[in-house]
Amino acid sequence: MIDATFDDRDGFIWFDGELKPWREANVHILTHGLHYASSVFEGARAYGGHIYALSAHSQRLIDSAALMGFPLPYTVDEIDAACKATLAANNLTNAYVRPVAWRGSEQMGVSAQKTKPHLAVACWEWGAYFGEEALRKGLRLTIAPWRRPAPYTAPVRAKAAGLYMICTLSKHAAEQAGYNDALMLDWRGQVAEATGANIFFLKDGELHTPTPDCFLDGITRRSIIALAQRRGLKVVERAIWPEELASFQEAFLTGSAAEVTPLAEIGPWSFQVGATSLGLAKDYTDLVHGRITGVEPVPSTQK
């Protein structure tokens, strides 16, 4: 498919309760979400017409909006139905699904009590986030120039648009330096995540992953923990410091967009694209395509 800008495509977007032609699904320039980042979103993938963990994504969207102070007038079932309707209207079976909610244009200024919440769902074909060769070769990461904020400085448990500003800046810096992505540390200097994906490390047959106390406890992350436990792997959630990276044999990223992607290096540290990373990547592919059943994302550790 020839790439097109995201405002000029054929198809339909679900917008505040109805399917609208893609080019007509617009908001006003004075929308509060554009000026003050009062917007939350989700990213899910459809495989063979089935949107993986859809209700978990819909619930997180509702929770994120509530944390941002604009409760959505939709239930999980209604958001699920909107996502399925959008997928069907666009005749897609393998696609990325993007629900997004925001405060409207009824009020301008920092205060937003008079604004109304809006919800839209779009979907489009989107292949491997990091490209097809990444699974074989592994990604090259540098250390991000920005850090994940402390939980007392931002609503870090919301998938909020404003929290991704430093992710864009960090990813641009990484790409300009010849890397695929960047590892973000948290405000304490501990390992946190990549710019749009969680991270895991393998050491002596155990998986280690940072405790998600200032970044999202991803749905794919929790699926990988369940798949690892299914394999009999011990998963350790803990604080991880950068100087520990030399002791890990393998590393990989997880996310709805990234799926499971091995790492070859992070700054000066190198990793094998090994059997554990590749095995869990295959398990995840089998899970989202329905070839593994009875495995659900482990409950979130975020409260």
> Could you list the active site residues?
159
Tokens of 32: 């509060």
Do residues 297 and 56 lie in contact, with contact meaning Cβ atoms separated by under 8 Å? yes
Do residues 201 and 239 lie in contact, with contact meaning Cβ atoms separated by under 8 Å? no
Q: Nearest CA to 148 among 103, 52, 212?
A: 212
| Number of helices (H), then strands (E), in the chain | 7, 16
Q: Nearest CA to 14 among 71, 115, 98?
A: 98
Residue 125: how many other CB atoms lie within 10 Å: 12
Tokens of 195: 């710019």
Tokens of 86: 């959008």
Do residues 103 and 31 lie in contact, with contact meaning Cβ atoms separated by under 8 Å? yes
DSSP-based three-state secondary structure for 199: strand
Phi, psi of 269 (to 5 degrees): -100, 135
DSSP-based three-state secondary structure for 166: helix
Phi, psi of 115 (to 5 degrees): -75, 155
Residue found under tokens 């941002």? 68
Q: Nearest CA to 237 among 208, 260, 213, 215?
A: 208
Do residues 153 and 282 lie in contact, with contact meaning Cβ atoms separated by under 8 Å? no
Q: How far apart are CA 237 and CA 253, in angstroms?
A: 15
